[in-house]
């Protein structure tokens, strides 16, 4: 997203990027309610981390509907274009073996991990992340988005919590999403529309585009 269309998340984006770049954090968790912009924020974080000056490889994984650790591992392998003609028989183990070869910083962005974190494979998922982190000699980090937080004695995730944006930032989102520049000055009572949307970014984007 162009920076002139990104409102209200500058601090969170900077915070997550600094956590990852510190090299001491295994997992950064971006959390918040539905429509609060978790995916938008994590895409911007991934874009900034992938800047060549950071000397970091970034892989983006969409985990929506993934409930089994084997499905998550397969998505992670696929994101780094390691699957050629077939899926490994044990994707999680394959990923662990692969991580032993990592000698430079790598970040996996795991977007929308709610399903696996709420499944019976939750413990196996977190164990896999910890194993990949350890076997890579701390070269691999993870940025995870989820509506819910989680605790883990091995991973010690740092949490970036997204809340409603401010009224002024909400107005900027609403006006920017309005259909045309000619229409924007004609928008009446934006404060009331912002109030009805609860300062939630997705609601503001939806209403703005409809206007």
126-172 tens-digit pLDDT: 999 999 999 999 999 999 999 988 889 999 999 999 999 999 888 88
pTM for this predicted structure: 0.88
In angstroms, rounded to a whole number, what is the distance separating the alpha carbons of residues 78 and 70? 12
The mean per-residue pLDDT over the stretch 174-180 comes to 75
Task: Inform me whether the pLDDT recorded for 105 exceeds 90.
Answer: yes
Task: Inform me whether the pLDDT recorded for 43 exceeds 80.
Answer: yes
pLDDT more than 90, % of the chain: 64
Assign 180 a pLDDT band (cuts: 50, 70, 90).
low
How confident is the model at residue 183, as a pLDDT? 60
The residue written with tokens 């997992």 in the block is 27
User: What does the block give as tokens for 189?
Assistant: 């009572």
Task: Inform me whether the pLDDT recorded for 188 exceeds 80.
Answer: no
How confident is the model at residue 172, as a pLDDT? 85
8 Å CB contact between 136 and 98: no
In angstroms, rounded to a whole number, what is the distance separating the alpha carbons of residues 186 and 141? 47
- For the ranges 3-7, 41-45, 116-120, the lowest mean pLDDT is seen at 3-7
């Amino acid at each position: 997203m162009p920076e002139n269309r990104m409102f209200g998340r500058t601090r969170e984006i900077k915070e997550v990027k600094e956590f990852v770049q510190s090299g001491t954090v295994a997992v950064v968790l971006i959390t918040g309610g539905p429509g609060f912009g978790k995916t938008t924020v994590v895409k911007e974080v991934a874009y900034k981390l992938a800047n060549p000056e950071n000397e970091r490889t970034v892989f983006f994984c969409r985990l929506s509907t993934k409930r089994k650790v084997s499905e998550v591992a397969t998505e992670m392998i696929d994101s780094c274009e390691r699957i050629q003609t077939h899926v490994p028989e044990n994707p999680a183990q394959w990923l662990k073996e692969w991580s032993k070869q990592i000698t430079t910083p790598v970040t996996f962005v795991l977007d929308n991990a709610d399903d696996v974190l709420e499944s019976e494979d939750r413990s196996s998922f977190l164990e896999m992340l910890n194993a990949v982190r350890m076997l890579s000699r701390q070269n691999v980090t993870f940025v995870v988005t989820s509506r819910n937080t989680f605790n883990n004695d091995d991973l010690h995730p740092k949490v970036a919590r997204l809340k409603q944006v401010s009224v002024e930032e909400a107005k900027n989102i609403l006006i920017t999403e309005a259909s045309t520049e000619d229409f924007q000055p004609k928008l009446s009572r934006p404060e009331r529309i912002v109030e009805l949307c609860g300062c939630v970014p997705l609601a503001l984007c939806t209403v703005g585009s409809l206007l």
